[in-house]
């Protein structure tokens, strides 16, 4: 009906394989739903994950290195 093998559909359902936009259109046609309804089923994270290795702004001051002249050596 939508030219996908049942094994391939299983891999897509388990998020082991991604699907192209054209593939999404084929799947929505085969399931008799609109593509927008397919996107409504995708879970959305409430917050973006924090980036690792970067300090939050305003929380810490950047570290400075004193030169020989500034340190009195």
* 69: pLDDT strictly greater than 70: no
Range of the domain at 29: 1-41
- CB crowding 11-20: b at 16 or more within 10 Å, else e: ebeeeeeebe
Task: Kindly state the tokens that stand for 67.
Answer: 């030169």
pLDDT of residue 41: 78
Question: How wide is the angle at C-alpha 20 spanned by C-alphas 4 and 17, nearest 5°?
Answer: 65
In a domain, 1, yes or no: yes
Number of domains in the chain: 1
Q: How confident is the model at residue 58 (pLDDT cuts 50, 70, 90)?
A: low
Q: Note whether 8 and 30 are within 8 A (CB).
A: no
pLDDT band, very low/low/confident/very high, at 71 (cuts 50, 70, 90): low
1: which residues sit within 8 A by CB, 6+ positions away?
A: 30
Which tens digit of pLDDT belongs to each residue from 4-45? 899 998 998 898 999 899 998 999 998 899 988 888 877 777
Residue 15 resides in a domain = yes
Question: How much is the pLDDT for 12?
Answer: 87
């Amino acid at each position: 009906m939508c030219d996908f093998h049942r094994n391939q559909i299983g891999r897509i359902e388990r998020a082991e394989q991604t699907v192209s936009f054209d593939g999404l259109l084929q799947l929505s046609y085969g399931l008799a739903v609109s593509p927008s309804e397919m996107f409504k089923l995708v879970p959305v994270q409430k917050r973006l994950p924090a980036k690792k290795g970067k300090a939050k702004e305003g929380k810490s001051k950047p570290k400075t290195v004193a030169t020989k002249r500034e340190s009195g050596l």
